[in-house]
Amino acid sequence: MVCQTVCSASMLLALGWFLIAGTGSDHTEENHQCLFTAKNYTELANSLKLITEQIDQITGCHELEQRTEIYALLQNTADKMRAIRIRACHKVSPKNCSIPLVPNNGGLMCLTLNKTRYCKPMCNQEADFNFLRKSRLFESCGESTQYQWTTQYVGGSRLAQCSVTRMNLHVSGDATAYFRSTCHQALLDYENSKMMMNNFKKELQAKGIVGKIKNRTECLMCGNISV
């Protein structure tokens, strides 16, 4: 009975994912057409939770070929959702600013304020900045910078570099410039990423940078994890 219930849930999940990613439509943050009602979202979320909790029973329901196909479908959908998120991070003003390079072993928290793009480099818990950044919480790009990124590096759009420290020592950056774990984990924790974004806004305000921020310009981009 448990197996039948979980397998039915997995069918609902597959249908939900198909609605999200199967049509090839543009579902960026700027497109406000919603494919799901609150009820559909709740059903999909509950199905995901059920599958996570009963993964052992699910593997007993399907043959290896079927499990492989389900994994491939879920992975493909996750990749598409990640790509949509990245595109939303890129489609922001000012358009004349280049897209900054995201540091490996870390990420960039960005927003647009008063027609200027601000990005805060952050390192994962087990990494640290290559250069001292304690008094340099963020970088900017806008009219006042001739649409070039302020950076410690010569030219281009590299804002920071993070290297694995092995000793877990954070000596180069401010305490708020490090993720609790990794940038990728922060992406999956809405409350944590929201708190970090609010801290970033307060840091800008402390520098006298104030104004109305459109939520759709707020973005967290993650780099690769290297060893």
Residue 96 CA neighbour count, 13 Å, CB half: 11
- Domain assignment present for residue 73? The answer is no
8 A C-beta contact, residue 140 and residue 157: no
Which of the given ranges, 61-65, 75-79, 94-98, has the highest pLDDT on average?
Answer: 94-98
- Domain assignment present for residue 29? The answer is no
Write down the pLDDT at residue 56. Answer: 75
Write down the pLDDT at residue 95. Answer: 92
8 A C-beta contact, residue 81 and residue 20: yes
- Domain assignment present for residue 36? The answer is no
The helix/strand/coil state of 4 is helix
Query: Residue 163: which pLDDT band, with cuts at 50, 70 and 90?
Result: very high
Percentages of the chain per state (helix, strand, coil), in multiples of 5: 45, 15, 40
- Domain assignment present for residue 211? The answer is yes
* Mean pLDDT, rounded, of the chain: 82
More confident site: 167 or 106: 106
- Domain assignment present for residue 91? The answer is no
Q: What would the mean pLDDT of 180-185 be, rounded to a whole number?
A: 95
Q: Measured between alpha carbons, how far is 151 from 138 in angstroms, rounded to an integer?
A: 9
Q: What would the mean pLDDT of 144-151 be, rounded to a whole number?
A: 95
| pTM for the structure as a whole | 0.75
More confident site: 67 or 150: 150
- Domain assignment present for residue 39? The answer is no
Among residues of the chain, what percentage have pLDDT more than 70? 82
Q: Which domain holds residue 162?
A: 106-223
Write down the pLDDT at residue 50. Answer: 81
- Number of domains making up the chain: 1
Cis amide bond preceding 94, omega within 30: yes
The letter for the amino acid at 59 is: T
- Domain assignment present for residue 213? The answer is yes
Residue 145 has pLDDT above 60, yes or no: yes
Write down the pLDDT at residue 35. Answer: 64
Dihedral sign of CA atoms 195, 53, 13, 222 in order: positive
